[in-house]
A = this chain, B = another copy of it.
Amino acid sequence: MEQLKFKNIAHKKGQPPGTLIYTGNKTDDYEIAVINYNSEEYCEHELNDIEECLPFIDSPKVSWINIVGLHKVDVIEKIGRFFNLHLLVLEDILNVNQRPKVEYSDEYLFVVLRMLTYNELSHQVDSEQVSMVLGKNFVFTFQERKVDVFEPIRHRIRNKTGLIVKNKADYLLYALIDIIVDNYFVILEKIGEEVEILEEDVLLNPSQEVVHTIHRLKRNLLELRKSIWPLREVLNVLNKDETSVINRNTAIYFRDIHDHTIQVIDIVETLRDMVAGLLDVYLSSVSNRMNEIMKVLTIIATIFIPLTFIAGVYGMNFKYMPELNWRFGYPMSVALMLIVGILMVIYFRRKKWL
C-alpha cells in the first residue's frame, strides 16, 4: 500500500514561523548549476558554493541557477540573505508539501509548482515540489531530486533554438513552467490508457479486481487534482500582469499555459466522471450475474423439487398403497412427473427465464 501524500505534513508543529527545515526525504542528490546566456553566447558551470553565482547575476546576461537537494538548508538560507527573500518564502521552498502558489514582492516573484511523475511499477502518480524565484535578470529553481525534466530547456539554450535566448529572465520562467505543465499531459495520457484498459475489462470481463483499479485511479486523479487546481489560480495571478518582473509581451505566453492548465483540469474531471461511471457499470454487471445465477438455481430446483416429492411419495412403505400394485403404476407416475416438469418449463418460458 502506498503512503498517503499528506503524511509528514505535521512535523514542523510548534516551530516558530520561518524555521528552515527540509520536510522531504533526504537524498544524496546535491548540485548547484548555473547557466548564463544571452542571444549571442552562453556558459554553463557547476558551483561548489552558492556565493560563486553572484558574479553571474551581476552580468547583464540572464542567469539560471538550478539547486538540487533541499536538505542543504544553509544554501537556501544564504540565497535568502543575498537576494533579500522573505523568510516565509525560504520556508515554502523547504516545506516540500506546499500547495502550488505564487507570492511576489517588488523585487522578485516566487512560484511553487508540483512536478508529477508516473511510477510504471506501482501505477502511482508521485508529486515533487519545484520552486522558482524570478528576479530582475535571474531565475532560481529548486528541486528535491536530480530529474531530467529541465534538460530540454538546457538543450535549447545550448543550441540557441526557440525563443529563450532571445528573451529575458521572465521568458525563461515561462519556459520552465511550460515544460512542467506539458508533463501533466504525459501523465494524463498514461492514466487515459489505463482508463481505456479498465473500460474494456469492465465491459467484457468484469471481476472484483476492477474495483481496486478504479480505486487506484480515483486516488491518482485526486492527487492530480490537488496539484493542478491551485495552478489555475497561480496563472490567474501571473496573467494579471501586476508584477514588475514580467514584461508585457511575455503575458501571452503565460495565458497559453493558463489555457493548457484548464485543458488539464477538463481532462481530469472527464476522467473522474468516466471512472465513476465505470464503477456503476461494474456494479450493474455484478447484479446481473447474480440474477443469472439465481435463475439457474431456481429453474433446476423448482423443476426437480416437485418431481422428487412425487418419487418420494411412491417410495413410501405403506402396506396399503393401491397405485404400487397397478399394472401401469410406474409409467403413470413417470408420466405425472413429465407433465409437472413440462408445466414448469412452460411457466419459465412465459416468465422469459428460459
Q: Which residues of A contact B (CB under 8 A)?
A: 1, 3-4, 6-10, 12-19, 86-88, 97-99, 101, 103, 152, 156, 161-164, 174-175, 178-179, 182-183, 185-186, 188-189, 192-193, 195-196, 199-200, 203, 208, 211-212, 215, 218-219, 222, 226, 230, 252-253, 255-256, 259, 262-263, 266-267, 270, 273-274, 277-298, 300-302, 304-309, 311-321, 323-330, 333-334, 337, 351, 353
Contact = CB atoms under 8 A, between A and B. Distances in A.
Contacts of A295: 293
A81 B98 CA distance: 43
B88 A256 contact: yes
A6 B192 contact: yes
Contact of A302 (B3, B199, B300, B314): B300
A15 to B, nearest CB: 8
Contacts of A186: 10, 13
Contacts of A179: 13-14
Nearest to A278: B215
Contact of A319 (B10, B218, B324): B324
Given A17-B253, A288-B208, A324 B315 contact: no
A189 B285 contact: no
Contact of A192 (B4, B188, B263): B4
A1 to B, nearest CB: 6
